Amino acid sequence: MENAIIEKKELYYPMLSTITRVDSLTPLEKRFEISLPDDKILNHAPGQFVEVSIFGFGEAPISISSSPTKSDKFDLTVRKVGKLTERMHQLDVGSKLGIRGPFGSGFDVQSFKNKDILFVAGGIGLAPLKSLIDYTIAKRNDFGRIIIIYGTKSPKEILFPDEIKMWTQMSNVEFYMTVDQPDEKWEGNVGVITTLIPPLELDVEKTITAIVGPPIMYKFVIMSLKGKKIPDENMYLSLERRMKCGVGKCGHCQINDVYVCQDGPVFHYPLAKKLEEAI
């Protein structure tokens, strides 16, 4: 009984944690490095999320954007879209916030081993996908090709410019980027993210795809991947935008008999395509 009480407390009670670094990425997005209290370690899987609370402002689920191999801290990349996230953007190093989690089902990294991995990130979807990207790069010898394709609406919305520069320069990472609406300085590819898929030469049986982006993107990306003969069982995607409480109580993320915050947010595509209105 005592252990059950402790587990319930850890499930529902936020840990008072500290912001140790803040990076402005775009006019709407900031990256926050977080340190848990008492030298605790988050021990998350790529693709999982935490519940972030600021007292007096509420709570929201936010995906973790750093690798589990980052030892004593973790990163959250936050878009300013509401009351809580707007308040979070006003915080600086040393500020406190509450953290519950990690929650949900992440990417099955064991099944990715010795496979080629194609990452497909649209817009803010690069933030949760970056946790898996960082993990595979940290464990580079465990995987085959690493291919990252990333699309945004415009150059001013590009996330993680320092990491993108590093990925571009790495000899064992293939990185491709596109924007829908270029500015006068843009010299790269122009078009939606699916324009990057047809030119790729892939070993389709060996290639695992990890897809995260706005809901409208999934249908067209999956169609393009099917055009490359990628099997359904080689596709994984995240439905992280549908979550709220994180523990399967509020029903906000329920699709049929599935709770996205518990059974997801990462889903194997053969299951996701059976969920009504999921994609």
Ranges for all domains in the chain classified under CATH 3.40.50.80: 109-272
Provide the percentage of residues in the chain whose pLDDT is more than 70.
89
What CATH number should be reported for the domain whose range is 2-103? 2.40.30.10
200-235 pLDDT tens trace: 999 999 999 999 999 889 999 999 999 999 999 999
User: Residue 197 — very low, low, confident or very high, per pLDDT cuts 50/70/90?
Assistant: very high
The reported pLDDT for the residue numbered 142 is 97
Q: Residue 10: is its pLDDT beyond 70? A: no
What's 109-272's CATH class? alpha beta
78-117 pLDDT tens trace: 999 889 999 999 999 999 999 999 999 999 999 999 999 9
Q: Residue 55: is its pLDDT beyond 50? A: yes
Q: Residue 241: is its pLDDT beyond 80? A: no
Sheet containing strand 266-268, strands side by side = 189-190, 174-179, 146-152, 116-122, 207-212, 235-238, 266-268
Question: What is the distance between the alpha carbons of residues 271 and 232, in angstroms, rounded to a whole number?
Answer: 10
User: Residue 279 — very low, low, confident or very high, per pLDDT cuts 50/70/90?
Assistant: low
119-156 pLDDT tens trace: 999 999 999 999 999 999 999 999 999 999 999 999 99
158-168 pLDDT tens trace: 999 999 999 99
User: Residue 68 — very low, low, confident or very high, per pLDDT cuts 50/70/90?
Assistant: very high
Q: Round the average pLDDT of the chain to a whole number and report it.
A: 90
* pTM assigned to the model: 0.91
Q: Residue 27: is its pLDDT beyond 90? A: yes
Question: What is the distance between the alpha carbons of residues 148 and 172, in angstroms, rounded to a whole number?
Answer: 11
Q: Mean per-residue pLDDT for 157-182?
A: 97
The reported pLDDT for the residue numbered 6 is 37
The reported pLDDT for the residue numbered 242 is 65
